[in-house]
């Protein structure tokens, strides 16, 4: 009886072992299994301050913190940049005031110049007309003088002969003197008008001089405009530099590494944080070449990570590398002599995660994967 029970137990154990052995073999035939599994990411970026250097006064995030795109995550001291900006703003305002004063002066000179040109033009025309009129009068008086001289000479001869009364001769002589005085008065007026005309010409030269002064002022205004433009560009650069004193996250993600501390002096481009982009994790499997059979893009995969043994992540094969991992090693194997130890090469396989709590993932975690065969 005891012998029969013992045989039954052995038979049951054999059946159980056979069942599990069959299940294990069947599972191995359906799945490729590997423990060369690592969590990786397509987006792991070192971020730092661009174009500016300085002392770090704020670090708003620590390792493991979530960040949003364009969120400020660190800041360096911007005091020196702000002082430079204030100085440039003061200088720009000062130059603008100088420019405004010169523009007002130029406007006044231009107005005066235009008025003087009009006055000078009208005065010259009026003087020319008066001189022309007086010259005509002088010609008439000279003709009358010539006639009066002849009359005076004739009456003087008649007076000497006693043929005319003395009063008549004196009347003719007086007329001659009056005409001579008229001629002198006309000549004096013409002379005075010529002097006025000369002064008018001097006014023309003054107008030209004012025009030269206007040009010089315009040159000064242009020089100030160039200075203001150059300072404005410096101002824009400083304003950008002040913006660059705040370090922004390039995308939603997680802080993977903090390289510096508050009070450190950093240079432009020096890494401050390493950030992993949100939902950029994938599983990298270094699969032995002997297990590649049946593994194709699109195959389902099930991943268990050592850090979370009670959780299963699902995914599918996204790509299978064209070369082995050893091909890109820092010191590739030299097989040119034909002497080497034959080892199973590993081919990198990328698995995109389709199901699971992505917030648990961290770059570098290891585990095990099962890939369905097709």
In angstroms, the CA 341 to CA 201 distance is 110
Measured CA to CA in angstroms, residue 2 lies from 9, 13, 15, 16 at distances of: 11, 16, 20, 21
In angstroms, the CA 268 to CA 293 distance is 50
In angstroms, the CA 82 to CA 91 distance is 14
What pLDDT is stored for residue 322 in this prediction?
82
Burial of 339 (0-12, 13-18, 19+ CB in 10 A): exposed
The pair of three-digit structure tokens given for residue 355, joined into one six-digit string: 């199901």
Is pLDDT larger for residue 132 or for residue 80?
A: 80
What pLDDT is stored for residue 171 in this prediction?
80
Q: Which of 354, 363, 307 is nearest to 44 (CA)?
A: 363
Is residue 11 within a helix (H) or strand (E), and if so which, with residue range?
helix 2-30
Lowest mean pLDDT among 38-42, 186-190, 194-198: 194-198
Region 334-363: mean pLDDT is: 76
pLDDT band for 247, please (50, 70, 90 cuts).
Answer: very high
The answer to whether the beta carbons of residues 314 and 301 sit under 8 Å apart is yes
Q: Where is mean pLDDT largest: 80-84, 105-109, 131-135?
A: 80-84
- % of residues, the chain, pLDDT over 70: 78
What pLDDT is stored for residue 69 in this prediction?
93
Region 229-258: mean pLDDT is: 93
Is pLDDT larger for residue 196 or for residue 64?
A: 64
pLDDT at residue 199 above 90? no
pLDDT band for 90, please (50, 70, 90 cuts).
Answer: very high
What pLDDT is stored for residue 321 in this prediction?
86
Region 348-360: mean pLDDT is: 88
Measured CA to CA in angstroms, residue 327 lies from 321, 324, 347, 357 at distances of: 11, 5, 10, 34
Q: Which of 274, 226, 221, 217 is nearest to 251 (CA)?
A: 274
Q: What is the mean pLDDT of the chain?
A: 81
What pLDDT is stored for residue 136 in this prediction?
80
Region 25-37: mean pLDDT is: 75
What pLDDT is stored for residue 72 in this prediction?
95
Q: What is the DSSP letter of 290?
A: G
pLDDT band for 329, please (50, 70, 90 cuts).
Answer: low
Region 330-334: mean pLDDT is: 53
Q: Which residues pair with 315 in a beta bridge?
A: 301, 353
The pair of three-digit structure tokens given for residue 122, joined into one six-digit string: 């009208």
Q: Give the torsion sign (CA, 154, 160, 164, 167).
A: positive
> Which residues neighbour 154 within 8 Å (Cβ) at sequence distance 6 or greater?
none
- % of residues, the chain, pLDDT over 90: 35
Helices (H) and strands (E) in the chain, counts: 3, 14
Is pLDDT larger for residue 217 or for residue 114?
A: 217
Give the three-class secondary structure for 61: coil
Region 116-134: mean pLDDT is: 67
Give me the residue label for tokens 């913190």. Answer: 65
In angstroms, the CA 101 to CA 275 distance is 55
Is pLDDT larger for residue 263 or for residue 187?
A: 263
What pLDDT is stored for residue 177 in this prediction?
83
Region 292-296: mean pLDDT is: 85
The answer to whether the beta carbons of residues 270 and 56 sit under 8 Å apart is no
Q: What is the DSSP letter of 162?
A: T
Is pLDDT larger for residue 185 or for residue 13?
A: 185
């Amino acid at each position: 009886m005891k012998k029969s029970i013992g045989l039954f137990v052995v038979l049951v154990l054999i059946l159980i072992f056979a069942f599990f052995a069959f299940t294990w073999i069947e599972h191995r035939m359906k799945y490729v299994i590997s423990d060369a599994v690592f969590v990786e990411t397509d987006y792991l970026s070192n971020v730092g301050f661009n174009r500016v250097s300085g002392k770090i006064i704020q670090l708003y995030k620590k390792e493991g913190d979530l960040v949003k795109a364009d969120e400020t995550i660190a800041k360096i001291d911007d005091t020196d940049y702000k002082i430079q900006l204030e100085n440039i703003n003061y200088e720009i305002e000062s130059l603008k005031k100088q420019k405004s004063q010169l523009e007002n002066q130029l406007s006044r000179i231009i107005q005066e110049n235009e008025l003087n040109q009009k006055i000078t033009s009208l005065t010259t025309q009026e003087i020319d007309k008066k001189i022309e009129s007086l010259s005509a009068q002088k010609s008439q008086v000279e003709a009358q003088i010539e006639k009066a001289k002849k009359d005076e000479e004739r009456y003087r001869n008649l007076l000497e002969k006693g043929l005319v009364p003395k009063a008549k001769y004196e009347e003719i002589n007086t007329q001659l003197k009056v005409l001579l005085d008229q001629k002198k008065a006309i000549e004096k007026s013409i002379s005075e008008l010529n002097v006025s005309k000369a002064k008018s010409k001097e006014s023309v030269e003054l107008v030209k001089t004012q025009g030269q002064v206007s040009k010089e002022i315009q040159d000064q205004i242009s020089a100030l405009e160039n200075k203001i433009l150059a300072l404005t560009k410096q101002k824009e650069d400083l304003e950008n530099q002040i913006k660059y004193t705040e370090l922004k996250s390039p995308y939603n993600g997680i802080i993977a590494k903090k390289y510096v501390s508050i009070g450190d002096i950093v240079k432009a481009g020096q890494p401050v944080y390493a950030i992993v982009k949100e939902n950029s994790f994938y599983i990298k499997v270094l699969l032995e070449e002997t297990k590649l059979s049946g593994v194709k893009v699109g195959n389902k995969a099930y991943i268990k990570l050592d850090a979370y043994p009670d959780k299963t992540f699902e995914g599918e094969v996204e790509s299978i590398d064209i070369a082995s991992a050893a091909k890109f090693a820092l010191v590739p194997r030299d097989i040119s002599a034909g002497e080497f130890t034959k080892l199973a090469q590993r081919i990198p396989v990328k698995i995109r995660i389709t199901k699971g709590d992505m917030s648990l993932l961290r770059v570098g975690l290891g585990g095990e994967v099962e890939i369905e065969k097709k």
